[in-house]
Amino acid sequence: MDTARILEANARTTQRLSDLAAKLTPADLSRDLGGGWVIATAFAHLTFWDRRAAFLLQRWKEGLVVPHEVIPWYDHVLNDTIETFYPLLPPVAVPRLCLEAAGILESTIRSLPQLLIDEIVARDDGWLLDRSGHRTEHIKQIEAGLR
């Protein structure tokens, strides 16, 4: 997997998130997206998953990640659990936290040796590196909520 391509794709979606965040009002952050989510929730969700990816990548780099069996339902349980805390975050702070998480992730990826990136991809964990697909999904959701 080409690190430059990953960083470019992530940078594009980080810029899209930044552009969205710059035009949001506090009222916009409370707009309903359905399923109990508001726009602030979508930003908080991306913050969590980018930070999680950065933490896992850093630990992998330090040799602290042990290969494990993928449990198909695990991420859904994790997601459902963390969602209960999103409403406790100040909505006006969440876009900034999201952009900080994106920056931390991109910095972490830049610090990884190519051999480690290749190992991560070979284990089918490339989603930890390329966050653009997940971000795009929620960017579209936010954009739809702003219409």
CATH number at residue 93: 1.20.120.450
For the segment 23-39, what is each residue's pLDDT rounded down to a tens digit? 999 999 999 999 999 99
Reading the block at residue 44, the tokens are 């908080």
Question: How many separate domains does the chain show?
Answer: 1
Lowest mean pLDDT among 10-19, 71-80, 120-129, 130-139: 71-80
Query: What confidence score (pLDDT) does residue 68 get?
Result: 62
Mean pLDDT, residues 123-128 = 88
Helix pair angle (39-61, 132-146), 10° resolution: 170
CA–CA distance, 144 with 90 (Å, rounded to integer): 22
Helix (H, G, I), strand (E, B) or coil at 4: helix
Enumerate residues 6+ apart whose C-beta is below 8 A from 51: 101, 104, 105
- Identify the domain containing residue 111 by its residue range: 3-146
- The pTM of this model reads 0.91
Q: What is the mean pLDDT of residues 41-52?
A: 96
